[in-house]
Amino acid sequence: MNVFRATLLLLVAALASCYESPGNPIVCTDEARPGIILRVFEVGTMDPVTEGLEGDLVEGDYQESLAILGSDNVLFGATERPGTYTATVRAAGYQEWQQSGIAVTADECHVITRDLSVSLVPSE
């Protein structure tokens, strides 16, 4: 019974550590969330752009190549990294797209994901 009580006490202590105050519980998940998601389409048709799709994020000296998320036309990055970014997207047969000033904020647990649509213009 002493082992049970000790285990129960540890469990209660662990759960209590997840709370900021008695009236304001904060429970964080273990997942890592992307700060930026870019869904890439062709301007006008809104067809997904996938061929040769790549992109990067820059914030000061920080640079990151974007990864493909699930669908072939969705890029993501800035995982659990708040900041203000410039995003660049390139794809075969399209003009380069760039947007500055993409602000990623965070709460007590995770970044607040910015989910943006990117409309690429075909090259001439």
User: 25 or 10: whose pLDDT is higher?
Assistant: 25
Give the amino acid at 118: V
Domain boundaries, the chain: 36-120
Q: Helix, strand or coil for residue 12?
A: helix
**How far, in Å, CA of 68 to CA of 116, rounded?**
14
The Cα 118–Cα 43 span in angstroms is 8
30 pLDDT more than 70: yes
Instruction: Tell me what pLDDT residue 71 has.
Output: 79
Q: What is the average per-residue pLDDT within 82-110?
A: 98
In whole angstroms, what is the distance from residue 51 CA to residue 48 CA? 9
Query: Rounded mean pLDDT of 47-75?
Result: 95
For the domain made up of 36-120, give the CATH fold: Immunoglobulin-like (2.60.40)
Token pair recorded at residue 114: 């910015």
pLDDT at 99 over 70: yes
The per-residue pLDDT for 18 is: 47
- What is the pLDDT, as a whole number, of residue 7? 43
Residues near 119 by beta carbon (within 8 Å), at least 6 away in sequence: 41, 42, 43, 46, 97
